[in-house]
Structure 1
Amino acid sequence: MAGSMLDIPCVTLGGEQKTLGDFAGKALLVVNTASQCGFTPQYKGLEQLWRDYRARGLVVLGFPCNQFGKQEPGDAREIAQFCEANFGVSFPLFRKVEVNGPGAHPLFAALKQSAPGLFGTQKIKWNFTKFLVDPASGKVTRYAPSTKPQALEADIERLLSR
């Protein structure tokens, strides 16, 4: 993984400063999330991936985003309570970010540059776009919002079995 991506500061919902470097050597699944989206039930699948694979080296990282249909209006406390109460989310969640435009969080700018979308576009189209980061090479694979978390299992297995 490019050193600069490892050094990008992120803040958890609880206010703790983190970087991807804190998860060095782990496969990372970075997802822009929202609480009021048609894809919101994917929280359950993301939590299942976290529970099934974290002991083997997968870290799921959720980044709430309110840029798509204003589907994440809550503050940090409300987001945390919603995710825990409705989906039992225990994987790390971060403060709300923008993923597109001039205010895009540097992490998402780097992920989009590493793994452009369809036809080379860097714009994220909707909530629950997923980025799987290979811990060895830093290669980033991008998945559409409609791709269910369980559909990533073969790729996760491949990364973790090396």
Structure 2
Amino acid sequence: MGKDVVMWIAVAGLALLCLALLATLVVSRRAWSRDAHAAHAELGDLRGRVEALEHAQGATPRTSVPTEYLITGLGGTPEPDPAPPERIDGTVFADTVLRETVVKAASLAHGVRRGLAPATRNRIRFEMKQEVRRSRKQRRTDLKAAQRDLHARERRTMTGEAS
């Protein structure tokens, strides 16, 4: 009897969860629909404005601006404009994207494998030890210099008070 109650509670919880998800979906769908209608109305208004501006510009005479020419070559025949790139098929695009992704994943795996190689780890460990030793030596040098400076100040204050 206890297992049946637990099962019914679980089913009721899942049903409530599905109901909440459905309500969220309906609310978001309505908000999206309102936004889409507002965008379409604004687009229609903007198209009307653009047409009015184009009509107004067509009625007024345009002033000509002198054109400056730039000579980029001497003689010869001008090269034709390159043709626009052709549209590629969806399968070709997917294949290209997949290949690029595989190449990136393989290079990442190679870099991780190389970075975690024992030789690399040993080199890093060696350089870390060297850096620790260098920093200890630098701290000792700084400490000695600070102590010398402190002793020199103490001597100056003692000689200044004694005289």
| TM-score (normalised: structure 2) | 0.12
**Higher RCO (CA < 8 A, seq sep 6+):** 1
Whose Rg is larger? 2
